[in-house]
Structure 1
Amino acid sequence: MSVSSPSEPESSPCSVLGPRSADVELAEEKICAVCGDRATGYHFHVMTCEGCKGFFRRSINKGVQFTCPFSQSCPITKAKRRQCQACRLQKCLDVGMRKDMIMSEEALRRRRALRRQRRLALAAPAPGGLSAEQQELIALLIAAHQQTFDSSFSQFTDYRPAVRLYIPSPQSPPEPGGGGSAVWPERLDEDVLPDVFSMLPHFADLSTFMIQQVINFAKEIPAFRSLPIDDQISLLKGATLEICQIQFNTVFNAETNAWECGQHCYTIQDGALAGFQQIYLEPLLKFHISLKKLGLHEAEYVLLQAMLLFSPDHASITQHDSIDQFQEKVALTLKSYIDHQHPMPEGRFLYAKLLLLLTELQTLKVENTRQILHIQDLSSMTPLLSEIIS
């Protein structure tokens, strides 16, 4: 039930995410004061590259006396910095690199050992069964979710009212005066849609509201913000509709089969009144019932959302390895959380069931997109939704 509103202002994932920050551009301009290569930070009191940092440390620690075979004025550039060690070392001293800031080999060994201990401590399971790093990841994702998802839908105020027109059927004749509640329409051929889309404008506004929340959720995750803008857009295009369904499940009532969104309440019949077919709506309802019955915690919902967002399976992705590594970290955290928070027999096969449901969700997204494109009443699709489903 994901459609967008013709009344929304023109926007796209690119415009929503905004231009590259000034901090990124400034970081790219930092150069090594010794050779002009890209600097990685301040080393021994001077902004330098890794190469000059290591050269300066080795030269001082070894106490080597270099001699220039020329006039002691050799140019030190990225391409020529290895041609004269004497002039390179002198250049290091001239720009202000300090010998007294170099740690001894013994001090370096102690510091490296301490770092290893800290890494092992982060990776080691805590008393609750999760490592400190995994607990930090969960806390970060829950905070991002709570800051961006309006579970009461109190901020969903700019919408066209829901209009539920009665759809007559042979099994349920219309009541006198044309009143009554909506009923399930007759089974339709998959290429034929009903003529009455009375709920379409309202669902357009609801879907646009939820899509914007997903974008805001992604922007709260540092690993997402650190990606190139093109990769951010590709990830959002690939996962937004699926994440909307995961978030929508948090307000689903399995007893009434309704989505309770604050003052609004929606049923699967409302989806039919928006123009969607049973070939999509019936599996959608089954998906939400199955997911809700698993009794997931908030941590598991947000980890699922992050797993969907950080999917490296897009042809246009450039940072494939980093996205894949983050998704793997999220998946392992989800598995660990389930293992330690869901006692047997409740937790048996829970992780496997979630993976199967994510596969079903992918199929639902494909059918959802197909049906959106078949709803001809959407004469002017917004750039935001057009970008998401393209």
Structure 2
Amino acid sequence: MSFINTQLQPFCQDFTIEDNEEEEQTDDEEPKFCGVCGDLAKGYHFNALTCEGCKGFFRRAIKRSSPLQCPFLSKCIITKNNRRSCQACRFRKCQTIGMRKEMVMSEEEVQQRRIKIRKRRLRDTLMQLSAQQEKAIEELLTAHRNTFDFSHFKDFRPMDITIASPIDLDQFMNEAYDPLHSHRMDICAPAGITSYDACLLFPSSSPSPSFYFDKDQTKGKTTVFTALPHFSDLGTYMIHDIIRFSKSLQAFRSLTIEDQITLLKGAMFEIMQLRLNMVFNAKTSIWECGPNSYYKDDVMRAGFQSVLVEPACKFHHTLRNLGLQEEEYVLIQGISLFSPDRSGVQQHHLIDQQHESLALVLKTYIDSKRSGPEKHLLYPRVLACLTELRTMTEEYSKQMLQIQDIQPDDISPLIKEVISKDT
């Protein structure tokens, strides 16, 4: 209540309502004159073009308890100079030009209007970004721009595109898989693929079998996750950038090292997806990462299953279609990073304060910078996307651990550290 009173106080001082009816101002440059006394008129009042003086007079006359009487012959000519001489004839002239008494508001209506005006002014003030909020956005923007550039992603292992696509392999395994046996089976290769033997692996945590095959028995086993080395390099590259992004924020640096690690591990997948969404082409469903482009089949060839890939693609379409601005993207990254509900967080109060502060900045930014009726739905839609990201994070960690069990040498130590459960 004290916060509201503080905000309202500037509006309560020297605040008067000059008029208590809806006015229609004239925008023409040509001067207009009052229909009652001939003085300069600034707009329509009570349904007639009048000056400010006759507007106030009509309002007061309507509220009088006693009737007005002309001391002469009720034929007074009202002018700017003598309009105060005869109230009765002036009032009659007001009615003659069309001023309507039913348009004069009661005292109760005046008070209600005053409250509405104060609330509107307060809302308009709260919708403006403060200097501190502007500074928070600038800090996030600077940190983001200094740590988000796929053009430097060059020293990576290329994706092996000579082996069947994930769709081919799924079809192949459905045809070849015998649920009664989990041992090696001799099977024929799909059309266009060199003959090989397949070996099925059944991780206990996975409802569906993960597998690898012998590309050449003389050279040893090659996993089916042919794009995994490349995506491991890409993920490592992005993790380094996100760490630098986080370390650029003063509020993050002020936390203990333990909480910094906890927040980074908890938000890493979410921030990666938010950044990837900024380069996602919703029309082609392709992530355009500088000189490299990726489609969802590439992600599946890295070992990720459709239970994660399909919701992720839907998420990227949904978020991208919101048409977020760069400022909104970086604020969402900050909100995700400073999540006080991450398991193992110690400085909960400080992190919660930063989380709430950034959420308010995002809400204020949308209210002050956006236009149109859709802006009122943008903030809750963004929050819904963050909730969806949190759900996908759990599935991502689960699948990464499965992939690591099958193909551990192709997962970088940094990624292993991020997906590890211990802090």
TM-score range, shorter chain: 0.5 to 0.7
Whether 2:307 is the aligned partner of 1:279: answer yes
Q: Which amino acid aligns with 1:362?
A: R
Between the two proteins, the alignment pairs up a number of residues equal to: 255
Question: Match for 1:246: what amino acid?
Answer: L
Report the alpha carbon displacement of residue 287 of structure 1 after superposing the two structures with TM: 0.3
Larger Rg: 2
Specify which structure has the bigger relative contact order, considering alpha-carbon pairs within 8 angstroms and separated by 6 or more residues.
Answer: 1
Residues in 2 aligned to 1:166 and 1:144: alpha-carbon distance in whole angstroms:
40
Indicate whether 1:166 and 2:196 are aligned: no
Aligned counterparts, 1:211-290, within 5 A = 211-290=239-318
- Which residues of structure 1 form unaligned runs of 5+? 1-122, 180-188
Aligned residue runs from structure 1 range 281-320, under 5 A: 281-320=309-348
Partner of residue 395, structure 2: 367
Partner of 2:415: 385
Sequence identity (%): 46
Q: Find the residue that maps to 1:265 and give its secondary structure.
A: strand
Describe the SS at the equivalent of 1:154: helix
Secondary structure in structure 2 of the residue aligned to 1:348: helix
Cα distance in 2 for partners of 1:386, 1:162 equals 20
- 1:78-227 alignment, distance < 5 Å: 129-150=128-149, 153-164=150-161, 165-167=163-165, 168=168, 169=171, 190-193=207-210, 195=212, 196-227=224-255
**Contact between 1:211 and 1:241, CA under 8 Å: does it hold in 2?**
no
Match of 2:4? none
The partner residue of 1:333 within 353, 361, 370 is: 361
Report the Cα distance in structure 1 between the residues aligned to 2:291 and 2:342, rounded to whole angstroms: 38
Q: Distance in 2 between matches of 1:127 and 1:314?
A: 30
Cα distance in structure 1, aligned partners of 2:291 and 2:366? 33
Distance in 2, matches of 1:303 and 1:349, equals: 17
Q: How far apart, CA to CA, are the structure 1 residues paired with 2:211 and 2:145? A: 38
User: What residue identity is the alignment partner of 2:287?
Assistant: W
Instruction: State the shift of 1:125 in Å.
Output: 7.5
Specify the alignment match of 1:33 in structure 2: none
Q: Distance in 2 between matches of 1:126 and 1:383?
A: 50
List runs of 5+ in structure 2 lacking aligned partners: 1-121, 173-188, 195-205, 213-223
The structural deviation recorded for 1:145 is: 0.1
Mapped partners of 1:385, 1:233: distance in 2: 13
CA distance in 2, matches of 1:259, 1:326: 31
Displacement of 1:283 = 0.3
Q: Is the 8 A contact 2:300 2:306 kept in 1?
A: yes
Report the more deviating stretch, 343-352 or 240-249. 343-352
Return the alpha-carbon distance in structure 2 between the equivalents of residues 361 and 238 of structure 1: 11
| Amino acid aligned to 1:300 | E
Corresponding residue for residue 85 of structure 1: none
Counterpart CA distance in 2 for 1:125 and 1:343 is: 13
Contact map agreement 2:334 2:358 (CA 8 A) in 1:
yes
Hey, what's the Cα distance between the residues in 2 that align with 1:175 and 1:237?
40
More strand by share: 2
- Give the 3 Å change call, closer, same or farther, for CA 328–385 of structure 1 in structure 2: same
Q: CA deviation at 1:128?
A: 8.2
AA in 2 matched with 1:166? A
Please report how far the alpha carbon of residue 178 of structure 1 lies from its aligned counterpart in structure 2 after TM superposition. Answer: 5.4
1:347 Cα deviation after fit: 1.0
Deviation at 1:328, TM superposition (A): 0.6
Aligned partner of 1:6 in structure 2 is none
Letter in 1 for 2:372: M
Distance in 2, Cα, partners of 1:370 & 1:224: 27
* SS of equivalent residue, structure 2 residue 225: coil
Shift of 1:158: 1.4
- Deviation of the 1:299 alpha carbon: 0.4
1:128/1:313 CA distance change after superposition, 3 Å: closer
Tell me the residue number matched to 1:108. Answer: none
Task: Give me the whole-angstrom Cα distance separating, in 2, the residues matched to 1:243 and 1:234.
Answer: 14
Once the two structures are superposed, what CA deviation does each residue of 1:322-354 show, in whole Å capped at 9, x if it has no partner? 111111110000001111222122313111111
Q: Tell me how far apart the structure 1 counterparts of residues 307 and 152 of structure 2 sit (CA, whole Å).
A: 32
**Using the alignment, how far apart are the partners of 1:175 and 1:193 within structure 2?**
18
Q: 1:205 to 1:382 in 2, by over 3 A?
A: closer
Question: Match of 1:8?
Answer: none
Q: Supply the AA of the counterpart residue of 1:293.
A: N
Structure 2 contact 233–412 (Cα < 8 Å) conserved: no
